[in-house]
A and B are shown apart, each in its own frame.
Chain A
Amino acid sequence: MKDAIYAAIGLAAPCVEKDLDFHAFLQTNLVQEVAEEKPGANILRRRIAILLGQWAPIQSEILETNHVYQILQHLLNRNDPLNDQVVRVTTARKLKNVLEPFEFQLQVFLPFATPILQEIFGLIDEVTLIETKMALLEVVRILVVKMEDNVSCNSKWTYCSMPYMYMNIC
């Protein structure tokens, strides 16, 4: 039921944004809920990723602190057994909505860039459907554009991964 209620509040974001402090909700609730380890946690984790993608463009204040990226990095961690493929792919897709707003602050995101990028590359290798690979590559493209000059810190790792990915897709 919580998944359904959160789905509703995500869809209604443009209508309730003035009446809901999503930033406070994120700090007090989502940070804890995303760490819950019990059966069915996958369902809520996926929903939280979607919720972040829906609210980031609406209340961009949430991009001023690192909680959003903490959560996204946590959800992309393939070593956590509760982050199944659906959770991680959904998170990677919704990262795009978090990166795109004009209010995106690179300095807040930078500490999380490398681990997030590594997880997404791993995910591109893991999935088999071409459409999903392409969608994840699009997220990488946006990420690289947003990182501007800072992409050189990750370039060695990125360049090593690209040929391998190219061969896999072909």
Chain B
Amino acid sequence: MGGRGEGDVIDSSFVSFCRPDALNLILELLRSAMQPGSNPVQLPRTLLIMLYVTKDLSSARLQKIRKSLLAVAPEVVHLLSNIYIEKVKEGTAILETDGANLDNALFAFQSSLLAMKSLRRLVVSGFEHPNRDPFVQEVWALSLTYFANFLAFLRSPLNMPPQLSGVLEKHLLQLAKMHLEMARVHPPAFVQLPESIRLVQSYWTFIVELGNEYGQQDQYEATIGTDGDSGDEPTIQEKLGLKALLLLRSCIKLVFYPIHSFRYQHAQDKEEKNSAIDTVRTQLLTEPFVIEIMELLVTRFFRFHPSDLRRWEEEPEEWEKREEEIADAWEFSIRSCSERVFMDLVVNFKALLAPRLLHVFHSYASRPSPLTPFV
């Protein structure tokens, strides 16, 4: 390393060049950074380098590198999850006591955020069957608790500086990204991991809360005007709401549009896949829940948001063009994603949903005054 000290930044391109040996060095630096008396900046800096390497390895396409990643992932996940858990505990303990020393809490959470940024990529790209690794299972189970805790802190009356609340919001987004990527890339493993159905149901609660915020007023009587929300940047609730909808869509796809692989599948793989499909079909996509999803999507998320109406008035051409294009970019729009989820459900639960939809449609079509839908 040319005589450099442990606290100095290591050039990441050098790290990429000799990945396997460099990874061992980084792991050693992480372990020493967690020891009492270590340089306080060593941990966040080494975690940052770990993140660069993780991104590099996770996106690699060469078989040789993929095999190396699969070989080292369990050890790295074990270490990173220990770091993550310890730093979250440290930060949480400060917030749960008297809320003093918020700078120390921020420092701890900044390290845990860096650890999670690598962790969430590794648990997806570093395993062919993530649900079978005990450390992935552990961090997955904890992610539900941590998600609820971070949300509770953000909603608490504790007067947090913006930097600290920003870091907690980023934690939530990283956890949501981990959950979503697992459901996309390894759908059967997602379902087999601990408490996944409860996880999706928790996200659904989140969508319901967001929908209640949206549906405060009757949009039909709203006129197009400039008094809507002037913020163009989505809120944390909207970002998480979108992730939640995408997660729901992944679950629907698992059951009704499963990916057929040409690779040889062992008996255990097939059994896990069939069991996952059955679990989602019977425990998540029950008839009452499917009806509830459709009602909420139509009554809350199909309606225009005040910001839509404001942009309609202020930038009609740009808004119209965006509405035309966003139908295909549904991964980035709550309304477009809601429409996709709605269509998935109506197509696959036609006998259940079509009569209800038509009943409400005829009610609204025949009378001008608003009615309570789906009664």
Contact = CB atoms under 8 A, between A and B. Distances in A.
Interface of A: 1-9, 11-12, 14-16, 19-20, 25, 29, 39-40, 42-44, 84-86, 89-90, 93, 127-129, 131-132, 135
A95 B8 CA distance: 64
B317 A128 contact: yes
Interface of B: 218-224, 298-299, 302-304, 312, 316-321, 324, 339, 342-343, 346-347, 350, 354-355, 357-358, 360-361, 364-366, 370, 373
Contact of A89 (B298, B302, B320): B320
Given A4-B302, A12-B342, 9 more contacts: A4-B298, A5-B360, A8-B357, A11-B342, A15-B350, A25-B365, A43-B304, A129-B318, A132-B317
A136 B346 CA distance: 32
Contacts of A11: 339, 342-343, 346
B318 A43 contact: no
Nearest to A20: B358
A111 B7 CA distance: 80
Contacts of B365: 25, 29
Contacts of B354: 12, 15-16, 19
A8 B318 CA distance: 24
Main SS class of interface, A? helix
A85 B364 contact: no
Contact of B316 (A2, A12, A86, A93): A86
B220 A2 contact: yes
Contact of B219 (A1, A9, A19, A93): A1
B321 A132 contact: yes
A4 B215 CA distance: 12
B317 A2 contact: no
| 6 A-B pairs with least C-beta separation | A4-B302, A39-B223, A85-B316, A4-B303, A5-B364, A12-B346
B135 to A, nearest CB: 43
28 contacts: A1-B219, A1-B370, A1-B373, A2-B220, A3-B303, A3-B304, A4-B219, A5-B364, A6-B361, A8-B298, A11-B339, A12-B346, A12-B354, A12-B357, A15-B347, A15-B350, A16-B358, A19-B354, A19-B358, A40-B223, A43-B219, A43-B220, A85-B317, A86-B320, A89-B317, A89-B320, A93-B324, A129-B317
Contacts of B347: 14-15
A128 B316 CA distance: 11
B298 A42 contact: no
A2 B298 CA distance: 10
Nearest to B312: A86
A85 B343 CA distance: 29
A5 B360 CA distance: 8
A89 B218 CA distance: 26
A3 B221 CA distance: 11
A40 B220 CA distance: 7
A129 to B, nearest CB: 5
B353 to A, nearest CB: 8
A93 B350 CA distance: 29
A16 B224 contact: no
A43 B319 CA distance: 13
Contacts of A14: 347
Q: Which of B304, B320, B354, B360 has the most CB of A within 10 A?
A: B320
Contacts of A42: 224, 312
Nearest to A12: B346
Given A8-B302, A40-B222, A2 B364 contact: yes
B161 to A, nearest CB: 40
A8 B301 CA distance: 11
A74 to B, nearest CB: 19
Contacts of A12: 342-343, 346, 354, 357
B361 A1 contact: no
Contact of B317 (A5, A15, A127): A127
A11 B365 CA distance: 16
B321 A5 contact: no
A89 B321 CA distance: 9
Contacts of B361: 5-6, 8-9, 20
A85 B320 contact: yes
B317 A16 contact: no
A113 to B, nearest CB: 24
Contacts of B316: 84-86
Nearest to B303: A4
B27 to A, nearest CB: 50
Contact of A40 (B224, B303, B350, B366): B224
A86 B370 CA distance: 25
Given A4-B299, A8-B361, A86-B316, A131 B321 contact: yes
A15 B303 contact: no
A40 B342 contact: no
A26 B3 CA distance: 80
Contacts of B346: 11-12, 15
Given A86-B316, A90-B320, A132-B317, A16 B302 contact: no
